[in-house]
């Protein structure tokens, strides 16, 4: 089944290339198409990317007595926290990064047991939803995103794991790439980002969770992600993470003290 789907993708790509160029693709084109097809096949075989952290998870031991273990579940914004150029991921803290670039909430929900629950943290910090709004895994609704976030929270609480819901970051259209503007607000309309943040804040209050407010600390007077905090209008740079770090630490401390 997978091979049939991938072959169809290859044929479609070849047809599109032929129409665009009115010529038979050269060896470079074929190589690129094969790489794309291989990536598509790999994604179909492991859509939630359970394999990304499978080996790492086997190396995680049970928490030590009184260890305040925290797992961060998220997408590329969480994933990128590990990059040394961004300051590193909370050096010296018993925090585990389980972010995967490009992921949406349904993918995270599928891997939540393996990448969060089985690691037995005290707290899970969830930062998710921006890629759902962007349609990374197909069209969706705010209600569907909320359902997935609620399910993750419920699964965590059943295992006595405290939950921190992180607000989505604002986006901006300030940045340029190859002389062209990077327009982030088309795929991630600010009104949808704000609506999901409002829902998370209300849900957290009603269910005695902690709401981690990045949004208001990173937005400018125009309603965009502050120019100095990102290089592409979506992902935080080192300065952006320096704003997020203390906010995350404060939310974790509050969750350990007051959250459920």
Residue 4 has pLDDT above 80, yes or no: no
Model pTM?
0.85
Mean pLDDT of 127-136: 98
Which pLDDT belongs to residue 231? 96
Which pLDDT belongs to residue 224? 97
Mean pLDDT of 135-155: 98
Give per-residue pLDDT as tens, 219-245: 999 999 999 999 999 999 999 999 999
Is residue 130 within 8 A of residue 75, CB to CB? The reply is yes
Q: How confident is the model at residue 39 (pLDDT cuts 50, 70, 90)?
A: low
Which pLDDT belongs to residue 45? 87
Comparing 16-25, 43-52, 174-183, the range with the smallest average pLDDT is 16-25
Residue with more model confidence, 259 or 241: 241
Is residue 96 within 8 A of residue 119, CB to CB? The reply is yes
Give per-residue pLDDT as tens, 82-119: 999 998 999 999 999 999 999 999 999 999 999 999 99
Mean pLDDT of the chain: 90
Nearest to 109 by CA among 156, 161, 53, 164: 156
Sign of CA dihedral 194, 195, 200, 201: positive
Q: Which residues contact 196 (CB under 8 A, 6 or more apart)?
A: 129, 133, 142, 145, 146, 168
């Amino acid at each position: 089944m997978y091979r049939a789907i991938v072959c169809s993708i290859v044929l479609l790509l070849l047809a599109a290339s032929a129409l665009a160029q009115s010529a038979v693709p050269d060896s470079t084109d074929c190589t690129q198409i094969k790489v794309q097809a291989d990536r598509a096949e790999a994604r179909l075989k492991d859509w939630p990317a359970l394999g990304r952290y499978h080996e790492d998870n086997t190396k995680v031991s049970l928490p030590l007595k009184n260890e305040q273990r925290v797992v961060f579940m998220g997408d590329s914004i969480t994933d990128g926290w590990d990059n040394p150029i961004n300051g590193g991921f909370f050096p010296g803290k018993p925090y585990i990064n389980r972010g995967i670039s490009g992921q949406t909430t349904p993918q995270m929900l599928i891997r939540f047991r393996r990448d969060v629950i089985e690691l037995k943290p005290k707290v899970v910090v969830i930062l998710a939803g921006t890629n759902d709004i962007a349609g990374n895994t197909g069209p969706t609704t705010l209600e569907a995103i909320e359902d997935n976030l609620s399910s993750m929270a419920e699964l965590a609480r059943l295992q006595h794991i405290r939950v921190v819901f992180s607000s989505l970051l604002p986006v901006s259209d300030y940045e340029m790439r190859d002389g062209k503007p990077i327009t982030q607000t088309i795929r991630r309309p600010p009104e949808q980002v704000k609506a999901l943040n409002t829902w998370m804040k209300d849900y957290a209050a009603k269910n005695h969770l902690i709401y981690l407010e990045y949004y208001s600390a990173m937005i400018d007077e125009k309603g965009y992600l502050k120019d100095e905090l990102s290089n592409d209008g979506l992902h935080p740079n080192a300065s952006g993470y320096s704003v997020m770090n203390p906010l995350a630490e404060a939310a974790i401390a509050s969750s350990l003290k007051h959250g459920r």
